[in-house]
Structures are given as C-alpha cells and as structure tokens.
C-alpha cells in the first residue's frame, strides 16, 4: 500500500513536469520524422527483401547438416531468398563486401557461420534470423536423432513450413527509414529512464522531503521499490506513446510480436532505471546526473539511435563501443523479432537486461543500506 502511494506520487512528479514530458515525447517524435525523411536513401527501400541473395560454401563433404541445409534452402528459396553455391575460386567475404550477395554462409563440421552485408543491415538480420531458426531446429533434430533416429525427418520437415510462414509475412515488406527510427527512438527513450532514475533519490534529498520519507514508519525498501515502480510505469507509458504514435501516425511497422517487443522494452526500462540509480549512489553529488546523462547519450549514439549502425563485426574501437551499448542490443534483437519473426532473438536481450538490472540494483541496495537517511 505504501509502495503504491509512493509510486503514484512519483508518477505525479513525472507527468506534472510538462517541460521534461514534452522533451521525452516531442524530441523522439520530431527526430523520427526528420531523420526518417532525411535519411530515406540510407535504406534499401527500392529493393524488396524478396531479392536477397546468399552465397553458400558447403565444406562438410556431405552428411546430415549438408542435407538438412539443402532442404532448408529449397523451402526458403520459394519465397525469393536464394541460397546459391559459392562460385569456385571466389572468396565469400569479398563477394559480400563487393555487394554481389547480401550474405555468405559457410557450412563446416563445426557448424554454420554467416557473414552479413554491412550495407543491407536489415536484409542481413533477416537472413541471420532465418538461419538462427534453422540451427535451432537442426540442433533439435540432431538431439532427436541421438535418441530416436526415425523421427529426425519429422522435426526437419515441420521446420520447412515454418520458414515459409515466417517469410511469407515479410518477403515483400520493405523496412524503411521511418521503421528504423521508430524502433531506434523507442529504444532510446526507454534508456532515458536512467536519467530520471539518477535523480530519483537525490530529488528527495534536494527537496528536503527525504527527511519525511525516512522518519515515516515505513521500510526503506518500500520507499525504494515505490519510487522505482513509479518511474518504471511513467517511462513505459512514454515508450508506449511513442510506439503508438509511430505506428498510427507514421505508419511504422512493428511486426507481429508486440508482446515480445514490449517485454524487451520493459526489461530495458528496468535495466536503465537500475543503472541510473546505481550511478546516483556511486557517483555522489549533483555531478552524477551529468555523468549519467552523458553515458545515455553515448549509448544512444553508438547504439544507432541517430543513424544505423551496421553489422560490422570487424571489431576496432567503434565495434567495441557499439557492442557495449544496451541500445544496440535491443535494436538488434528487436529488428530480428520484428522483421524476421525470430522471437528467440529477444531472449539474449532480455537476459542481458535482467542480469544488468539485478547487478545495478544489488549495488544500489548495498549502498542504500550503508547510508544514514536516504
């Protein structure tokens, strides 16, 4: 009950702060519009996903993986994503870099590897998503094979129709820049929760009201949970407004797994809140707000909020920074969920977010326990 009334109070602060609210909602929407229009050319809007061509090199020398993959390629081929054997003497990675193909798959006895085109980020994601579901099924089949060899065919056979269903949804879908920014902005706003959380406790201290909360006959944990809950709900409402606005006003595409998308965003907001809170405990004083806001800005930048970050696994400082950004994880995972119907791509993101949230919360709770007052 105390938790609830503290959460409601927290939401009153959030929604009565017109200026911050306007910024939270207005900025991403305007940016979505401007970037979405200005950068249309950065997206392969002319090419439908149906034209995706992927080179394949089978180095297994036959065997179950080779066979299964052939079946998969055949099924998938009906929808326009074509897997062609790599021309003898050609280098698969160069083919991709020279934009002759959108991706390059290598089958070896160790498994499957994919080199995606760095230009067609979304096509690459789709191919990656399809391959991920293929490997899932292949692994399942292999596991079945070990126990009951006769049933292997069945697992793979049902698999085939799944790829087709998945692709028939997406094959003619052309992800445009508005779609990209709708997702990117939403993920960015989710991360902004960290900035609010940085001020969660400090705000009470500055207003002097921390005193009243601490002297009331309630537990510190109730204050803590109530404030977190209020902040999470407020931020999620902002995220929802941006999703709905982009969906119905800008007609952005959000795919068929809204529940999964929202679950990922919830986990992101919780993680962001925890990050901000831990930051405000560890970096005492008003400086912490500046630091947290800088970190969030950097995450947005490197995570692809303002321009698409390509699937450049090549490494380097940029690659390293890019992969540190939770915005990047979420963008990446959600692109697969939305465009490749690859729901399982949400799992790693959920796990990372929940894991980091638990870590940051743990740090905050330890810091809170040690303190006198809030």
Partner 1 sequence: MNILDIRGLTKKFGDFVAVDNMSLTIREGEIFGFLGANGAGKSTTINMISSLLRPTSGEIRILEKDIAKQSRFAKTNLGIVPQDLAIYEDMTAYENVSFFAGLYGLRGDKLKERAEEALEFVGLSDKAKSFPKNFSGGMKRRLNIACAIAHKPKLIIMDEPTVGIDPQSRNYILTSVRKLNESGCTIIYTSHYMEEVEEICSRIAIVDHGKIIAEGTKEQLKSTITDVKDIRIELKSVQGTEGELLKPVPGVRTVLQEENVIRVHSDAAVDNLNRILKQLMDAGKEIRSVEEQEPNLETVFLTLTGRNLRD
Write out the residues near partner 1 by the rule CB under 8 A. Answer: 1-2, 5, 9, 12-13, 16-17, 207-209, 211-218, 372-373
Angle at 269 between CA 263 and CA 272, to 5 degrees: 140
Name the token pair of 155: 């697992």
Decide: 30 and 188 in contact? Cβ < 8 Å: no
List beta partners, residue 114: 105
Inter-CA distances, 1 with 122, 157, 212, 222, Å: 46, 54, 17, 9
Decide: 73 and 22 in contact? Cβ < 8 Å: no
User: Strand 111-116's sheet: what is its strand order?
Assistant: 82-85, 53-58, 103-108, 111-116
List beta partners, residue 111: 108
Q: How far apart are CA 273 and CA 197, in angstroms?
A: 5
* Nearest distance, CB of residue 135 and partner 1, angstroms: 53
Between 169 and 368, CB nearer to partner 1:
368
Strand positions, DSSP E, the chain: 53-58, 82-85, 103-108, 111-116
* Nearest distance, CB of residue 239 and partner 1, angstroms: 23
Between 171 and 201, CB nearer to partner 1:
201
* Nearest distance, CB of residue 11 and partner 1, angstroms: 11
Residue of 6, 1, 374 whose CA lies nearest to 220: 374
Between 220 and 247, CB nearer to partner 1:
220
Q: Which residues lie closer than 8 Å to 13 by C-beta, 6 or more apart? A: 203
Between 143 and 211, CB nearer to partner 1:
211
Decide: 338 and 183 in contact? Cβ < 8 Å: yes
* Nearest distance, CB of residue 14 and partner 1, angstroms: 10
Between 9 and 247, CB nearer to partner 1:
9
Between 61 and 217, CB nearer to partner 1:
217
* Nearest distance, CB of residue 228 and partner 1, angstroms: 17
String of b and e for 106-138 (b: at least 16 CB within 10 Å)?
bbeeeebebbbbbebbbbbbbbbbbbbbbbebb
Name the token pair of 182: 């709708």
Between 210 and 359, CB nearer to partner 1:
210
Between 1 and 150, CB nearer to partner 1:
1
* Nearest distance, CB of residue 216 and partner 1, angstroms: 4
* Nearest distance, CB of residue 193 and partner 1, angstroms: 19
Q: Which long-range contacts (CB under 8 A, 24 or more apart) does 203-208 make?
A: 203/13, 204/374, 205/373, 205/374
String of b and e for 265-304 (b: at least 16 CB within 10 Å)?
bbbbbbbbbbbbbbbbbeeeeeebbeebbebbeebbbbbb
* Nearest distance, CB of residue 370 and partner 1, angstroms: 11
* Nearest distance, CB of residue 194 and partner 1, angstroms: 22
Between 141 and 201, CB nearer to partner 1:
201
């Amino acid at each position: 009950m105390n938790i609830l009334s503290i959460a409601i109070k927290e939401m009153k602060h959030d929604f009565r702060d017109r200026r911050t609210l306007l910024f939270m909602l207005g900025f991403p929407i305007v940016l979505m519009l401007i970037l979405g229009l200005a950068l249309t050319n950065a997206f392969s809007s002319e090419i439908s996903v149906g034209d995706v061509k992927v080179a394949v090199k089978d180095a297994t020398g036959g065997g179950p993986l080779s066979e299964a993959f052939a079946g998969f390629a055949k099924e998938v081929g009906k929808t326009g994503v074509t897997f062609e054997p790599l021309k003898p003497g050609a280098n698969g990675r160069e083919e991709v870099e020279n934009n002759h193909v959108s991706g390059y798959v290598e089958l070896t006895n160790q498994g499957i590897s994919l080199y995606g085109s760095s230009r067609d980020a979304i096509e690459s994601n789709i191919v990656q998503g399809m391959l991920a579901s293929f490997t899932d099924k292949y692994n399942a089949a292999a596991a079945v094979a070990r126990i009951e060899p006769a049933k292997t065919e069945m697992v793979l056979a049902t698999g085939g129709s799944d790829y087709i269903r998945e692709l028939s949804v997406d094959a003619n879908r052309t992800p445009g820049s508005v779609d990209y920014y709708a997702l990117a902005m939403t993920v960015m706003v989710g991360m902004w929760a960290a900035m609010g959380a940085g001020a969660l406790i400090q705000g009470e201290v500055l207003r002097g009201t921390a005193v009243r909360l601490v002297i009331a006959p309630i537990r510190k944990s109730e204050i803590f949970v109530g404030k977190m809950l209020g902040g999470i709900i407020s931020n999620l409402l902002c995220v929802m407004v941006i999703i709905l606005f982009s969906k119905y006003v800008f007609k952005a595409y959000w795919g068929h797994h809204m529940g999964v998308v929202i679950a990922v965003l919830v986990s992101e907001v919780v993680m962001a809140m925890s990050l901000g809170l831990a930051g405000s405990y560890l970096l005492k004083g008003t400086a912490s707000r500046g630091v947290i806001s800088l970190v969030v800005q950097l995450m947005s930048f490197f995570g692809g909020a303002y321009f698409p970050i390509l699937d450049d696994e090549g490494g380097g400082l940029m690659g390293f920074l890019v992969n540190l950004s939770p915005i990047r994880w979420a963008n990446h995972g959600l692109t697969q969920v939305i465009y490749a119907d690859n729901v399982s791509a949400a799992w790693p993101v959920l796990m990372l977010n929940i894991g980091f949230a638990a870590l940051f919360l743990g740090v905050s709770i330890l810091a809170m326990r040690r303190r006198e007052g809030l």
